Amino acid sequence: MGDLSVTLCGVELDNPVIPASGTFGYGHEFAQYYDINCLGTFSFKGTTREPRYGNPQPRIAECEGGMLNAVGLQNPGVEKVIAEELPKLKKCFAKPVMANVSGFSAEDYAYTCEKLDKEPQVGWLEVNISCPNVHGGGMSFGTDPEAASAVVRAVKAVTSKPVIVKLTPNVTDIAAMARACEAAGADGISLINTLQAMRIDLKRRKPLLANGTGGLSGPAVFPVALRMVYQVWEAVSVPIVGVGGVSTAEDVIEMMLAGAAAVEVGAANLRDPWVCRDIVRDLPGVMEKYGIENLRDIIGGAHG
């Protein structure tokens, strides 16, 4: 069997398959279906400084090729995550976990990341910078290189573990955003987050989502995500986590050829709770089919 192991920001993974934040809860929810230790790791639900109840319902809508969500970062807050969720996770997952963090100011991010950085089971901090910067007039951190850099610097000043910055695709130059984050000290880049989108209810003549717009995920976004991973690989030297529409072992290989060192699986978990387990199971056969002996050797293999 081929070698599935990879390294992400200096941390060894048994394989590159990572359930994405927001689709895997805090891990123990999926542990009742299968042994989640078969995964490389997973990124737990986006966590903020204070508890958040999220957006009004309806906040999920189906569409051809994917789904829309406007959940609004519903989570119990970092204190409760540390006190309640991580102890439950420790009982069913023996590997380092990726902590996904959101915030509404650089200070918010720094506070939450500093707390999680002290937790032994946290291996990486995945800093989601697609949230509104309410202190700066509502501009998303992830669309402004200077704002993104400020968040990265604030987090790096109070943490010791690898910081992976999750980028929004809703920008004109994804490579410029990645370069700005790398220059500010990011240890890795994760991309992409969801694409801003909407659907309209024909009977009510109103948007399906109470929030109006939401984030598009699922197979429809895979080619966009792949293109952005490819571009960012050529722009930075830090590791990349590829995410967006991944649902098969073949998709994982494609993402790695574009430049991903590891690959997150998002919306597919909501359609099929066993999908990540099955991707890990299927990877050796796909590697054999395409003559791949070691996954590390194919990272960025589609370039040049």
- Cite the active site residues: 131
**How far apart (Å, rounded) are the C-alpha atoms in residues 66 and 3?**
32
Comparing CA positions, the residue from 179, 182, 186 lying closest to residue 163 is: 186
**DSSP assigned state of 92:** T
Decide: residue 286, CB within 10 A, 0-12 exposed, 13-18 middle, 19+ buried.
Answer: middle
Contact 145, 186 (CB under 8 A): no
Dihedral class, residue 60 (left if φ above 0, else alpha if ψ from -120 to 50, else beta): beta
The CA-atom distances, in angstroms, between 16 and each of 115, 149, 216, 252, 295 are 26, 27, 24, 8, 9
Do 229 and 242 meet the contact criterion of CB atoms below 8 Å apart?
Answer: yes
The candidate with the shortest Cα–Cα distance to 144, out of 135, 133, 156, is: 133
